[in-house]
Amino acid sequence: MPDPAISLRRVVKTFGERRAVDGLDLDIAAGTCVGLLGPNGAGKSTTMKLLTGQAIADSGSLSVLGLELPRQSKLARARMGVVPQDDNLDEDLTVGQAIEVFAGLYRVPRAERAAAVDKALDIATLRDRRRDSVKELSGGMRRRLLIARALVHSPEVLLLDEPTVGLDPQIRSELWGLISRLRDEGVTILMSTHYIEEAERLADDVAVMALGRVIARGVPSELVAKHVGSEALEVHAPASRLADITARAVAAGLPTRRTGASLSVLRAETFAPVDVGATGPEVGVRRRAAVLEDVFVVLTGEEVA
């Protein structure tokens, strides 16, 4: 097997009394897109900071493209592109200047710099905004500019920390198209997110994180089959009935998920509503396919934000 493009072994990082990363093991093969999926505080952003040298692990080993971190962080960063969660664009620059500055920082040869900037602008479909001030851009354009800036030196690895956080669904979909094209071109991508659909749509496989470690990993469809089965019974009923149905489901060995005034009984493909007491005029039941969101809630104990 070829060496992974990104490798973390038994990595621990603490902040005071809090263990943000707790014995994390994670390998990412070259040319794949892996989604880090987890609730706030799961350790996703800290993992990104460890890989970029913004934080130093207390113990464990990390490498990117065979380069040991933090000892060879400078060499590793030269071959990585990083899109931060927070918008840190310089609003005193034009769109073109924002990318040109990073082309210089990444030491793109001067003779190749103009072509590299043009290519990055084209990837992000921002060439016609080249002379516009950064402050004039919409939220979606700013996120595309952050990605273009990270790609100006043709990195082998791209780190995306919550790349579409706070954006409306239409703009998010546009960015998904951009990230998908990069994945198809063979760029190794590690993407942290708490958007379930984003992980399903873009990642070759998903690593579910909680309390600083990976608690499950696999292709989304395989994770669904393994942890929550293929079908769920979604039950709407008074709270007292839902409590009774939950108890019956648990006694039958079925995982459950409570969402507001409804209850989902998972692994229900071989069970009928009557098997868990979900009958009566005050009870509404529908059968639906199990989804990755069910896996997230069952494994982390948290609802999707």
Q: What is the pTM of this model?
A: 0.90
**What's the rounded mean pLDDT across residues 9-36?**
96
Within a domain: residue 108?
A: yes
Q: What is the pLDDT of residue 169?
A: 86
Within a domain: residue 255?
A: yes
- Please say whether the beta carbons of 253 and 244 come within 8 A: no
260 in the same domain as 116? no
Structural domain containing residue 145: 92-153
Q: How far apart are CA 207 and CA 223, in angstroms?
A: 10
239 in the same domain as 178? no
**236-210-73 Cα angle (round to 5):** 145
113 in the same domain as 60? no
Contacts of 241 (CB under 8 A, 6+ apart): 277, 280, 282, 283
Alpha-carbon Rg for the chain in angstroms: 22
276 in the same domain as 211? no
Within a domain: residue 160?
A: yes
Within a domain: residue 64?
A: yes
Amino acid at 51: L
Let me know if 142 is exposed, middle or buried by CB neighbors in 10 A (0-12, 13-18, 19+).
Answer: middle
Let me know if 93 is exposed, middle or buried by CB neighbors in 10 A (0-12, 13-18, 19+).
Answer: middle
Within a domain: residue 254?
A: yes
Q: How confident is the model at residue 167 (pLDDT cuts 50, 70, 90)?
A: confident
Q: How confident is the model at residue 165 (pLDDT cuts 50, 70, 90)?
A: confident
Last residue of a domain, one of 153, 174, 200: 153
| β-pairing verdict for 33-37 and 188-193 | parallel
Within a domain: residue 149?
A: yes
